[in-house]
Structure 1
Amino acid sequence: MTRVEATTLAFLPRGGVGKEEGYLQVEPTFILDGGRDFGVNVGAPVRFRMWGGGDGAAFVRREDWDTLSDWGQLVRGLKFGSEYTPLGVWVGALEEHSLLSGHLVRRYSNRTNPDYHPAGGVLTGKLGPLYTEAFTSDVLGARVMGAELSLDLEHVIFGKPQYAGRYTLALSGVHDWGRAGGRAPSVTLAHLDITTGVLIRPDYEAHVIVGVGGRPGADGAWGAVVGAGLDLGREKLRLRLRLEGRRQHGGFRQGFFGPDYELARFQGAGPDGGPLAEATFPDGYSAFTEAEVDWDAAGLGGHSRHFTLTLGAEAFSWGRFDVDGRVAMQLFSRSLEVALKGLAVGAGKPGARYLGATEVRWRFLGGKLYAMGTGGTLLFPTKEGTLRPGAFASVGMGVDNAR
């Protein structure tokens, strides 16, 4: 499939900070779908300045291409193999990425910083009872890197089981080098998990999980978790539910690399105002829940969905509340697509962070031509390590052709 979009894009200051900037954005895309085990998706937006930016501002927006990591945005998706093959590789943007158990990396996005456009990489591999997933948030820079090793205990003791993964022991570790996308303090976390499948069938699975984790080298920084999950897969419906009780102590917390981490690494939400790696985090308990729903009236075999919902929320015993989510719908015979996403971090406490965005696409003339509009709020990291509030708005047209 080939696609070209042409839109006007405006970056707008909030709170009287910054200057308004306007661009003509042209975004070509090429997609080659080779099925479950191979795919290529390349393309990137190029922004030509129309107004604003002050004296000496470049014609093409400099912040989009001023580091080696930014050139990673040319690769939106490169896939070899999958989680069902002995070895799988995926390169591209990371959206709501979780590292297996998700107790270190959960719902993480590497594009939350609007001036940093890396391509992440995920490697999966399976050898007998051992399943491995490794990832990096930036294949061209020294940033977040981690891996989780999951051992199928039933396979080790009794041989290859009918249903893999009923009893597993998993060890994960993640390190942020902090040397790309802006300098920030480095941090290392580790976690150990035991998962037991209490009910496993071809189309659904229920399991319980317990785990402990900490920050190596930081005395007294540890946490524990106990929870349950349900995965349901049908022809037209896919459902994932998680519910966990968590304990945090000494500054450690589960889901440290979360949806706002690319902003929090400079300035975490809350009254401290410093980098997340150096911020104090109160001792206490929390309840975490996550839900993912995909539904399509024609079945889930294609790329489009009539309805998609993903939501994560965590309530802490000391009054803080975090929530992030996205909902997308296709209406009127798929001619209208509407997507909404939002993020609230530290709600209920001073220094809370709120972000939101919406996108609308209306297809006509047989669906190949469409009008689109997007808008929302942003936070731009500054050289001083603070976050400058802003907003964006965009309207335009697009055309695509699939063969």
Structure 2
Amino acid sequence: MALCLSPLFAWSTLILDGGPEFGLNLGAPVRLRPWGEDTGFVRKQDWDSLSDFGQVVRGLKLGSNNAPVGVWFGALESYSLLSAHLVRRYSNRSNPDYHPAGGFLTGTLGPFYTQAFASDVLGARLMGAEVALDLEHVLFGQPHEPGRYTLALSAVHDWGKAGGRASSVTLAHLDGTAVVVVRPGFEAHLLAGWGGRPGEGSAWGAVVGAGADAVTPTLDLRLRLEVRRQQGGFRQGFFGPDYELARFKAAGPEGVPLAGAHFPDGYSVYGEAEVGWDAVRYGGLSKHLKLSLSAEAFSWGRVDVDGRVALQLFARSLEVAVKGLGMGMGQAGAHYLGAAEARWRFLGGKLYALGAGGTLLFPTSEGTLRPGAFASAGLGVDSAR
């Protein structure tokens, strides 16, 4: 077990807020490691590649959701690519020694809506795009409510040449979605899709499901339930929350990289819930409760769970967040990760104390995952002009 002590002794931040069309957030933590294989106090693994310098960009926004084109750069946390049947709840920072800046671009042109992303804008890694066609727009002209009936095609490729070399892999997926219930503050939809690995006809998967979105002044709720079929090693959500670790060693008894791992043929049931609740009509991102949970149970005994919850207490002075990940539960070689963070604001909210801790998995040159842990504590101040 490796212990990585990570006091954030230098985390100055520059934030520029240009309204809904522009935003910039620069800053990076400097993590100490007083003992171990490193020489010096600063962890050399945090800055030993070009991709690691991407962590300086904590967020860069150009355009907005309502603009014809929008661009965002920074860390990808629980990122999903539109229909999310290839990339779902993906994090590009789950490898503790790899800190890239990712980015995605959104664009609208007539009946087409597209999103393209890169997990590392400074290295040849995970890249993909999804293009959605508004069928109602094509058949009957521009609709009053766009996006009710869509057909989408997505493709994702991992070049495997940054963040540690690994096998390249390509997946594609076709999706159809129909919104079947529309009420003030509520929508329900049905979906179906099929995907596979180009060039490997025996590797394919199918999915059917339903989802619902509810929005009120104090509640934001999103639910999804799917039944899936996997064949020949393909699976939905291939690029998932532990992908940056699984690309070196997949969860399961085989102990091989995900690109070459045997994934049994079978069925699964997938459910996902995202809840944001606030006691008042607060329009910002900060809420009294934020919950995100997903679970998938396979017909052959495996269970995957990924979740995080954050609470604000005592007039928003205290924020507590907990997250956990279990991949391959119910079989040998499962991946488990957990972390917790607490932030206490005082002196009118300008000054805060921060503490965090959790477990890590470090990829090694031998193709294994070395378990570790981290702990950090510090003080910070928010100042804006």
Q: TM-score range by the shorter chain?
A: over 0.9
Counterpart position of 2:249: 267
Counterparts of 1:319-334 in structure 2, within 5 Å, are 319-334=301-316
Which one-letter code corresponds to 1:146 in the other structure? G
1:163–1:200 contact (8 Å) kept in structure 2: no
- Describe the shift of the 1:365–1:386 C-alpha distance in structure 2 as closer, same or farther (beyond 3 A): same
Counterparts of 1:225-304 in structure 2, within 5 Å, are 225-304=207-286
Counterpart position of 1:128: 110
More deviation in 291-300 or 178-187? 291-300
The offset of 1:234, in angstroms, is 1.9
Counterpart position of 1:355: 337
Which one-letter code corresponds to 1:108 in the other structure? Y
1:399 aligns with 2:384: no
| Structure 1: unaligned runs, 5 residues or longer | 1-13
The offset of 1:287, in angstroms, is 0.3
More deviation in 240-249 or 76-85? 76-85
1:41 aligns with 2:19: no
The offset of 1:33, in angstroms, is 2.2
**Alpha-carbon separation, structure 2, partners of 1:192 and 1:184:** 26
| Structure 2: unaligned runs, 5 residues or longer | none
More deviation in 167-176 or 227-236? 227-236
Partner-residue secondary structure (3-state), 1:212 = strand
The offset of 1:372, in angstroms, is 1.4
Deviations 1:205-233 (A, max 9, x none): 21000000000112300000000011112
The offset of 1:37, in angstroms, is 2.1
Counterpart position of 1:389: 371
1:22–1:52 contact (8 Å) kept in structure 2: no
1:52 to 31, 35, 40: 35
2:114–2:130 contact (8 Å) kept in structure 1: yes
Counterpart position of 2:122: 140
1:65 aligns with 2:65: no
**Alpha-carbon separation, structure 1, partners of 2:328 and 2:354:** 32
Which one-letter code corresponds to 1:186 in the other structure? S
Number of corresponding residues: 384
Identity of paired residues, percent? 70
The offset of 1:235, in angstroms, is 1.8
- Describe the shift of the 1:22–1:195 C-alpha distance in structure 2 as closer, same or farther (beyond 3 A): closer
Which one-letter code corresponds to 2:118 in the other structure? T
1:165 aligns with 2:147: yes
Which one-letter code corresponds to 2:263 in the other structure? F
Which one-letter code corresponds to 1:399 in the other structure? V
- Describe the shift of the 1:303–1:261 C-alpha distance in structure 2 as closer, same or farther (beyond 3 A): same
1:295–1:306 contact (8 Å) kept in structure 2: yes
Deviations 1:33-60 (A, max 9, x none): 22222211110001244x2124x61332
**Alpha-carbon separation, structure 2, partners of 1:53 and 1:235:** 51
**Alpha-carbon separation, structure 1, partners of 2:143 and 2:202:** 39
Which one-letter code corresponds to 1:218 in the other structure? E
**Alpha-carbon separation, structure 1, partners of 2:169 and 2:363:** 19
The offset of 1:402, in angstroms, is 3.0
1:32 aligns with 2:16: yes
**Alpha-carbon separation, structure 2, partners of 1:371 and 1:21:** 20
**Alpha-carbon separation, structure 2, partners of 1:298 and 1:27:** 32
1:116 to 84, 90, 98: 98
Q: TM-score, normalised by structure 1?
A: 0.93
1:83–1:125 contact (8 Å) kept in structure 2: no
Which one-letter code corresponds to 1:360 in the other structure? A
**Alpha-carbon separation, structure 2, partners of 1:34 and 1:306:** 26
**Alpha-carbon separation, structure 1, partners of 2:4 and 2:239:** 31
1:73–1:92 contact (8 Å) kept in structure 2: yes
Partner-residue secondary structure (3-state), 1:157 = helix
**Alpha-carbon separation, structure 1, partners of 2:309 and 2:7:** 28
**CA RMSD in angstroms, aligned pairs only:** 1.3
Counterpart position of 1:92: 74
Counterpart position of 2:163: 181
1:48–1:59 contact (8 Å) kept in structure 2: yes
The offset of 1:297, in angstroms, is 2.3
Counterpart position of 1:9: none
Partner-residue secondary structure (3-state), 1:146 = strand
Partner-residue secondary structure (3-state), 1:46 = coil
Counterparts of 1:365-384 in structure 2, within 5 Å, are 365-384=347-366
The offset of 1:292, in angstroms, is 0.5
1:156 aligns with 2:156: no
Which one-letter code corresponds to 2:252 in the other structure? G
The offset of 1:255, in angstroms, is 0.2
The offset of 1:373, in angstroms, is 0.9
The offset of 1:267, in angstroms, is 0.3
1:166–1:200 contact (8 Å) kept in structure 2: no
**Alpha-carbon separation, structure 1, partners of 2:278 and 2:4:** 39
1:82 aligns with 2:64: yes
Deviations 1:233-267 (A, max 9, x none): 22221111000000000000000000000000000
